[in-house]
Amino acid sequence: MAMFRRLMERVDRIFGRGVIDEDLYEELEEALLQSDTHILTATEIIEDLRKAIRSEKVTSPEGIKERLQEEIRRRFDQGGNPRLAVSSDPPTVYLFVGVNGVGKTTTIGKLAKRLTQQGKRVLLAAGDTFRAAAIEQLQMWAERSGADFVGALPNSDPASVLFDAVTAAKARGCDYVLADTAGRQHTKGNLMKELEKVSKVTEKALGRSPDEVLLVLDANTGQNAIRQAEEFTQASGVTGLVLTKLDGTARGGALIGVWERFHIPVKLIGVGEWPEDLRDFDAGEFARQLFDSPTGS
């Protein structure tokens, strides 16, 4: 996996000096910042690392590396369920939200493939009615994964599509509804209000809130991820995060800042183009990939 390659190479060079001194701490903090970790978060991680090293009398660079991984892992273990919620009263409904181009539709398709392979009946709802290509793409994923599909003509009311999708899922005995929504910039107030409407109509059709509202973030987003999380949480009550495009990027540290600010659990990560490249988030693996030595080219 190519994830975080440039960061890993730099950290290995830092530890390769074999000297534990103030320069090492400063370089580690700079490496965290370059991976898009927020400055306050990076400072806290390094301070906690110092305390752990003093109390445990760590004397080797490799020991510091292990403690640094533990400090990052620990930050994702402070609450929140990292597993996708599953309702005891089907269908389980996941609403996917996020800005344009982050990979919502592709993530839905990959998850649909996983669920249908598990023997679940899945319905994909094309709630992004403003982009004809999004409807076509989701229908293609439905055909590829063997899922049901509910869509409408371009520019139809997205809330109506979601209402029809949930109603159809109930009638057909579907286990899951995976609902796409239009990519919208978090700075556009009118579009965010429309997302509020979509959430409320879905709740009306289902008789409860969606089981998950998943905010999809691009790993290359950087610190703007915090602003996106803030705006989408206000509009739609985000319950989980999905981080896409982690393959071939040195970034991803912003995820730590989003977690510490909002305590929204990370549910899924995307590390490639294939359906099997959508994976459940594992904090320990995330920390290891952030600092393990790279393999391959």
Measured CA to CA, the distance from residue 138 to residue 20 in angstroms comes to 52
- Residue 98 and residue 215 in contact, taking contact as beta carbons nearer than 8 Å: yes
| pLDDT at residue 57 tops 50 | yes
For the cut 50, the answer to whether the pLDDT of residue 34 exceeds it is yes
> What domains sit in the chain, N to C, each tagged with a CATH number?
5-75 (1.20.120.140), 92-280 (3.40.50.300)
Angle between helix 254-262 and 61-75 (nearest 10): 40
Above 90 in pLDDT, residue 268?
Answer: yes
Whether the pLDDT of residue 3 is over 50: the answer is no
**How long, in residues, is the chain?**
297
Sheet with 212-218: list strands edge to edge.
148-150, 122-127, 176-181, 92-97, 212-218, 240-244, 266-270, 278-280
Q: What is the mean pLDDT of residues 263-271?
A: 88
Mean pLDDT of the chain: 84
Residue where the block lists tokens 């989003």: 258
pLDDT at 97: 93
Cis ω for the linkage preceding 91 (within 30 of 0): yes
Residue 192 backbone phi and psi in degrees, to 5: -70, -35
Which 3 state secondary structure label does DSSP give 241?
strand
Q: Poorest-confidence range of 6-10, 15-19, 98-102, 169-173?
A: 6-10
**Residue 179 dihedral angles phi and psi, to the nearest 5°:** -110, 120
Task: Please give the Cα distance from 213 to 216 (Å, whole number).
Answer: 10
Cα(first)–Cα(last) distance of the chain, in Å? 10
Q: What is the pLDDT of residue 78?
A: 57
pLDDT confidence bin for 150, thresholds 50/70/90: very high
pLDDT tens-digit readout, 100-148: 888 999 999 999 999 999 999 999 999 998 887 899 999 999 999 999 9
Q: Is the pLDDT of residue 295 over 70?
A: no
Model confidence at 219, pLDDT cuts 50, 70, 90, reads confident
pLDDT value of residue 296: 40
The tens digit of pLDDT for each residue in 220-244 reads 777 788 888 888 888 788 999 998 8
Percent of the chain with pLDDT over 90: 39
